[in-house]
Structure 1
Amino acid sequence: MRKTVLISLFCILFYTNVEAQKIIGVKTNIPHWASATPNIGVEVAFWNKMSFEISGGYNPFEFGNEQHWKHWIIWPEIRYWFWEPFNGHSIGVHGVFSEFNVGGLNLPVKKLTSLKDRRYQGEINGVGLSYGYAWILGNNLLIEVSVGAGYGRLNYDVFSKGKDGFKINEGRKHYIGPTKGAVSLVYVF
């Protein structure tokens, strides 16, 4: 009896899974490329107006003069589309998971001036809410804009400037603010 119930449950779940996956989109975040971060995402529509996306980026580069902008980031997200998947308005819940090694940068943002003489290495994990809008450009191509805000937990170590710098400090911070931003080019299958 137990075996029959388990097999039946498996068949129902398998059937629902296969039947529900009607649209798949492959995307890339254009502004992420501007920060020299190659990235890609995959989004799968399921049920009526829902989709699941997982996007990520990786930047392994050093820019000379002991400038570091190394990081990787992953954004899983579940979305509800008001009209239909990949068309119009959407809201979602997303996670953010990232590790970074950043320093030696002279950025024109007052809160980031310490990056000029120091290197920060650590991680951020968080969750947030997002809003997005997708415009259909052609049969299989669309552009999507999404923004998100939420909570993140930062754990990091502070080093003196340079690859072989010594540890100066460490920090643990709660962060509330932007957690996602994208202008994505999407190809839909």
Structure 2
Amino acid sequence: MRLSRIAIVLIIFLSGITKIAAQDVAIKTNGLYWLAGGTVNGGVEVATSNRVTLQLSGSYNPWTYKNDKKMRFWLVEPEVKYWVCEKFEGHFFGLHGHGAQFFGGFRDKRYDGYMTGGGITYGYNWILSPHWNLEAEIGLGYERLWYKESDRIPCIKCYERKHKNYVGPTKAAISLVYIF
């Protein structure tokens, strides 16, 4: 979580020292998160130059599904993007990070823990109108999870501490973007 806090402070600092003008700030939402369980999400992206932008996104899922199954979480994702041609248009490459806390389970187990990691991204941004864009993005990287695993019946003494390292896809987004 410490890495996520440092990234957030860095993004806020860098966005504060840049000149913000028209076409330099965008807000967005990832449609894939909405489709996967109605996860509330949004992000802000700020241009620091004609080819570099900084993005900070957040997601939150508080829902409980049928039969008391849930995977509640909050997630913060900072990212820096390098645009091949011009900001908010065409191809881009990026570096992204993640920090999350989660709780819940879908089968016979319950999980309560944290996740952090990051990776590289590639994406493309289509201009729909002067203010609206559609953006697709995929990322590969590393995730570290540490959590308590227990049976679905809550028991304070009946859990196992576990951790998991993951390498593979770490980001997928099809976002609707509004550029100011």
- TM bin (shorter chain): 0.7 to 0.9
Offset of residue 16 of structure 1 = 6.0
Contact preservation (8 Å) 2:23, 2:179: no
When the two chains are superposed, the root-mean-square deviation of aligned CA atoms in Å is: 2.1
User: 2:88 maps to which residue?
Assistant: 86
The amino acid that maps onto 1:148 is G
Contact 1:66 1:161 in 2 (8 A): no
Q: Show the counterpart of 1:57.
A: 59
TM-score, normalising length: structure 1:
0.81
- Number of residue pairs matched? 165
- Structure 1 unaligned residues grouped into runs of 5+: 1-12, 106-115
Report the secondary structure of 1:139's partner residue.
Answer: coil
Partner of 2:139: 148
Quote how far apart the aligned CAs of 1:81 are.
0.1
Gaps spanning 5+ residues in structure 2: where? 1-13
- Work out whether residues 20 and 45 of structure 1, in 8 Å CA contact, stay in contact via their aligned partners in 2: no
Q: Deviations over 1:120-164 (max 9, x none)?
A: 1111100200001000001100100001111111101101114x2
Q: Secondary structure at the match of 1:65?
A: helix
- The TM-score normalised by the length of structure 2 is 0.85
> Mapping of 1:34-45 within 5 angstroms?
34=35, 35-45=37-47
Match among 138, 143, 160 for residue 169 of structure 1? 160
How far is 1:60 from its partner? 1.1
1-side partners of 2:16 and 2:112: how far apart? 45
Q: 1:157 aligns with which of 145, 148, 153?
A: 148
Residue identity opposite 1:33 in structure 2: W
The superposition leaves residues 86-122 of structure 1 with CA deviations (integer Å, 9 ceiling, x where unpaired) of 100000001011111131x2xxxxxxxxxx1001111
Counterpart secondary structure, 2:19: helix
2:50 paired residue number: 48
Matched to 1:77, the amino acid is E
Percent of matched pairs sharing the same residue: 39
Q: Distance in 2 between matches of 1:168 and 1:15?
A: 44
Question: Which deviates more, 74-83 or 13-22?
Answer: 13-22
Specify the structure having the higher radius of gyration (Cα).
1
Are 1:24 and 2:19 counterparts? no
Preserved contact between residue 15 and residue 48 of structure 2 (Cα < 8 Å): no
Separation of aligned partners in 1, 2:16 and 2:159: 56
Contact 1:20 1:47 survives alignment (8 Å): no
* CA drift at 1:15: 10
Choose the corresponding residue for 1:135, options 126, 138, 142.
126
After TM superposition, give the deviation of residue 172 of structure 1 in Å: 1.4
Residues 28-50 of structure 1: per-residue CA shift (max 9 Å, x gap): 00010112111000001111200
Change in Cα spacing, 1:14 to 1:56, as seen in structure 2 (3 Å) is closer
Q: In the alignment, is the contact (CA less than 8 A) between 1:74 and 1:97 conserved in 2?
A: yes
Whether the 8 Å contact between 1:21 and 1:46 is mirrored in structure 2 is no
